[in-house]
């Protein structure tokens, strides 16, 4: 099931350190990300690194995904 979140939602799916599948939605890629709510991806620098974590997890090392930064 696909879901979406704003660029300000602090979950792994919107974090630059998460390696799971997601995409910035058009025409507003700086605002919304779409992802499979059951997907997992490798944490690449947060507190869960180097493990696979759910897209809905979060931690204090969150950084906005580069594709969501204002153009």
pTM of the model: 0.86
Long-range contacts: 33-40, Cβ < 8 Å, 24+?
A: 33/4, 33/5, 33/7, 33/65, 33/67, 33/68, 34/2, 34/3, 34/4, 35/2, 35/3, 35/4, 35/5, 36/1, 36/2, 36/3, 37/1, 37/2, 37/3, 38/1, 39/13
Which residue range is the domain that position 46 belongs to?
2-57
Residue 67 lies in a domain: no
Number of folded domains that form the chain: 1
Instruction: Please state, for a pLDDT cut of 90, what percent of the chain lies above it.
Output: 55
Residue 63 lies in a domain: no
Residue 66 lies in a domain: no
pLDDT mean by block of 10 residues, the chain; 71 residues: 84 94 77 83 95 94 86 42
The reported pLDDT for the residue numbered 33 is: 82
């Amino acid at each position: 099931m696909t879901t979406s979140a704003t660029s300000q939602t602090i979950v792994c799916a919107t974090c630059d350190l998460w390696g799971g599948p997601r995409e910035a939605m058009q025409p507003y890629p700086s605002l919304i990300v779409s992802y499979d709510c059951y997907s997992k991806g490798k944490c690449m620098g947060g507190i869960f690194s180097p493990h696979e974590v759910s897209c809905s997890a979060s931690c204090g090392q969150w950084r906005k995904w580069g594709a969501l930064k204002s153009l």
